[in-house]
Every structure is written in C-alpha cells, then in structure tokens.
Amino acid sequence: MKFNPQMLQVYLVIGTQNTNNDPQRLLKIVKEALAAGVTAVQYREKDGTTLTKAEKVALGRQLHQITQAKQVPLFVDDDYELARTIGAEGIHVGQSDTRADVIHQLAPDLMMGLSVHNLEELERSRSLLPVVDYLGVGPIFATASKIKVKDPIGMQGLDDVITQTSKPVVAIGGIHENNVTDFKTEKVTGVAVISAITKSSDIKNTVQILKQRGK
C-alpha cells in the first residue's frame, strides 16, 4: 500500500488501555469506526496496557485483518518488530522513540509518521523528514487519553508548524465533535482522535462529524 495523504483524514489511535483492557471491545470499536469511514488506524499499546508480547501480536493480527478488509492502513506505534510481525502498513514514532531513519533502513516499505510538538521539535527533526510521510502535531487541546502528555499548543502552535513544513499534518490531542470545526480550513490534512471515538455513544455520527470538520 502506497502512502496517500487522503489516508489521514480521520485517524483513529487505539489500544486496549482505551477500552478497559478489553481486546474484543477494541475490535468492535474499530469495526464500527471503519464502517463509519475512518481512514487510518494506529495500534498503540502503551500507558498501562496489560497485554503480553504474544497477546499484542495476536490482537494486532486480528486488527490487521479488519483494516485490510476495508483497505485502510494500519500503523503501529513505536514497535518495529510488532509492525513487521502483524504485517502493518506503517509505523508512527515520537521524538524519544526509535529514530525514523533507522526504521526506514530496516523497512523502507513501511509508511512513516513522526510526532512533532512544536517548531523546536520540527527543527530538530529536519534530517529525518526525507523518510517521513506525515507529521502528527499536538496536543492541540488538553487531553486525558495519554500519560505524560505535553502542554497543548493550541491552534496558533499548530499553524506555526504547518507554515514551516510541506509534509501532510495530522492534528491530535483533545479533538472531539464540539471543537473539530476549528479545523475546517484546509491547513491540516486530517485529525487523529482516541476518546472521541472510543467513548462515543454513536460512532457513525462521530466519524461523520470529524470527517466533515463542520464544512
């Protein structure tokens, strides 16, 4: 699968730590989200996950079967071995994770996402950008979905990064149905969410609102 910025329109980030440590609930949510129009999924087992390595692989393979059936890319958060084992199409790394260029040397076919918090991190990452397909920028707003999250940068911080890169940008952090209209300009390629979907009582409606961004 080749990278296309349209993949990033509505990007679901999910792990069992977001589903009360229930793998079956995770799979159910992903199925509903894909049916509703989610365009990318990131498998992220962190922040208190209780799964063993073998359990992560088993769940990852089930998850990949579901995303493959919908021809939607599956990214794995900072776990190269897991990504290769389950056949994921991409990987996403943060500033303190395995370097993007190292992963690219090992697996140049993997699509690559890189987290950037602000302009300073963008500048520090310049040498990595040739092997990166997109940037995940944020948190934009305050969020409780991740542990050790950085301070929100707001819309101005997002704009500052966007103006200094030609890479597609996915906004992440505290984005939900009531504030997604802030992104109705074409400045961001997509929005990434966790709780907006995992805690939604109507996933179909939530995804449609996120996809349209109030347009």
Work out how many domains the chain is built from and give that number.
1
Q: How far apart are CA 39 and CA 134, in angstroms?
A: 14
Selection from 70, 71, 107, 105 nearest residue 91 by Cα: 107
CATH number of the domain to which 164 belongs:
3.20.20.70
- Complete DSSP assignment for 79-132: -HHHHHHHT-SEEEE-TTSS-HHHHHHH-TTSEEEEEE-SHHHHHHTGGGGGG-
Domain range spanning residue 157?
Answer: 5-212
Task: Output the six-digit token pair for 1.
Answer: 């699968």
Binding site for Mg(2+), by residue number, is: 78, 97
Angle at 171 between CA 180 and CA 61, to 5 degrees: 105
Q: Which residues are annotated as a binding site?
A: 42-46, 77-78, 97, 115, 143-146, 174, 194-195
Q: For each of the chain's 215 residues, which pLDDT tens digit applies?
A: 999 999 999 999 999 999 999 999 999 999 999 999 999 999 999 888 999 999 999 999 999 999 999 999 999 999 999 999 999 999 999 999 999 999 999 999 999 999 999 999 999 999 999 999 999 999 999 887 766 678 999 999 999 999 999 999 999 999 999 999 988 766 899 999 999 999 999 999 999 999 988 55
Looking at the whole model, is its pTM more than 0.85? yes
